[in-house]
Amino acid sequence: MKLRIIVQMMGSPVEYILGLLEEIPKKLEKTGHKAKKLTIAEPEKVGDKYYSSFIELETEAKDLTDLFDIIIDYGPSSVEIIEPLELKVSAADLQKAVGTVSAILHEMDKAIKVSAAQNKMLQKEILKLRKELSGLKSGEKSRKNPSK
């Protein structure tokens, strides 16, 4: 399958974003994918301190599973299948590709739930520490000025 993909990034500093975008074709090559017709857009300033840019390139996927691997690994904002114009996919190939995506989504869901639980625990700990700090500050005030 011949593909055209666009991968967008936003961050700071601008050199960091450009460096990450320049690494994408190199990483594709390491996994056996040729990257052709590369275009890296001139970074645009977003807000006070961030920059946004993207890379557009053409590559090939061996099959549906390979296509999904590229999508999952690089998170393109756009994927265009240039060739073939029609696909005939066996149930076994589709099942393999869907199984891969399903397994990855399951892992992502698990990671998100763990992060959410950790975040909730940290929020509770912050509230507890704020109350303790507030109590210490009001204790200092009463020692400095016993009339209050």
- Check: pTM over 0.95? Answer yes or no: no
* Segment 9-49, tens digit of pLDDT: 999 999 999 999 999 999 999 999 999 988 999 999 999 99
Residue whose tokens read 């936003």: 10
How many Cβ atoms from other residues are within 10 Å of residue 87's Cβ? 11
Range list of H helices, 49-90: 64-74
Q: What are the domain boundaries of the chain?
A: 2-86, 89-148
Local confidence pLDDT in tens for the 148 residues of the chain:
999 999 999 999 999 999 999 999 999 999 999 999 889 999 999 999 999 999 999 999 999 989 999 999 999 999 999 999 998 999 999 999 899 889 999 999 999 999 999 999 999 999 999 999 988 877 766 556 655 5
Q: Which CATH number fits domain 2-86: 3.30.70.260, 3.90.1150.10, 3.40.50.300, 3.30.300.30?
A: 3.30.70.260
Task: Report the helix count and the strand count for the chain, using DSSP H and E.
Answer: 3, 5
Q: Is 17 left (phi over 0), alpha (psi -120 to 50) or beta?
A: alpha
From residue 35, alpha-carbon distances to 39, 59, 69 in Å are 11, 5, 15
